[in-house]
Amino acid sequence: MKKFVCAVLILIIAGELAALILINAAVPSNISTPKDPIEVSNGLAGTLGNPVTTIEVTSMVDHILIMDVTFNRGNCHFIDFFIKLPVELKFGQKLTLVPYSTDIQHGCDVIETEIQTSQGHFSFGKGGML
């Protein structure tokens, strides 16, 4: 009788451990984090061998309105000859911005990008979302 009781207890313990492992394996690690509606990346544009750095904002949702973009807390600007905010983007569409600085001596290395959208405010650094 003791062997049977011990065997049953071991099976119950093993069954509980297996259930816990299966539960943990079934829950994705990012379940509470919704996918960001935009992605920001660096790019290059230009012709005649003079490439310029660009910041590209890509829509990851069906519809989003880009209302404002700020580089380096307002210390960098973007060339807006053809771009007037707000801009509507649909899934997969991209807004390409060319940053510049009015301070020619120091230039403009974009470290932080803040974007105000119809779906909220988002901050990105060189490593991604802040």
pLDDT tens digits, one per residue of 109-129: 899 999 999 999 999 987 666
Asked whether residue 9 is assigned to any structural domain, the reply reads no
Asked whether residue 1 is assigned to any structural domain, the reply reads no
State the pLDDT confidence band at 9, using cuts at 50, 70 and 90.
Answer: very low
Asked whether residue 87 is assigned to any structural domain, the reply reads yes
Higher pLDDT, 80 or 113: 113
- Report how far residue 69's alpha carbon sits from residue 124's, in angstroms, rounded to the nearest whole number: 11
Asked whether residue 104 is assigned to any structural domain, the reply reads yes
Asked whether residue 11 is assigned to any structural domain, the reply reads no
Task: Output the domain CATH number for residue 119.
Answer: 2.60.40
Q: What is the pTM of this model?
A: 0.67
- Report how far residue 7's alpha carbon sits from residue 121's, in angstroms, rounded to the nearest whole number: 58
Asked whether residue 25 is assigned to any structural domain, the reply reads no
Number of domains in the chain: 1
Q: Which of these, 105, 12, 28, 87, lies nearest to 97 by C-alpha position?
A: 87
Asked whether residue 17 is assigned to any structural domain, the reply reads no
- Within 13 Å of residue 16, how many CA atoms lie on the same side as its CB? 5
DSSP track, 56-70: EEEE-SSEEEEEEEE
State the pLDDT confidence band at 4, using cuts at 50, 70 and 90.
Answer: very low
* Residue ranges making up the domain that contains 94: 38-129
Structure-block tokens of residue 32: 């509470």
Amino acid present at 42: N
Beta carbons within 10 angstroms of residue 41's beta carbon: 12
Higher pLDDT, 31 or 69: 69
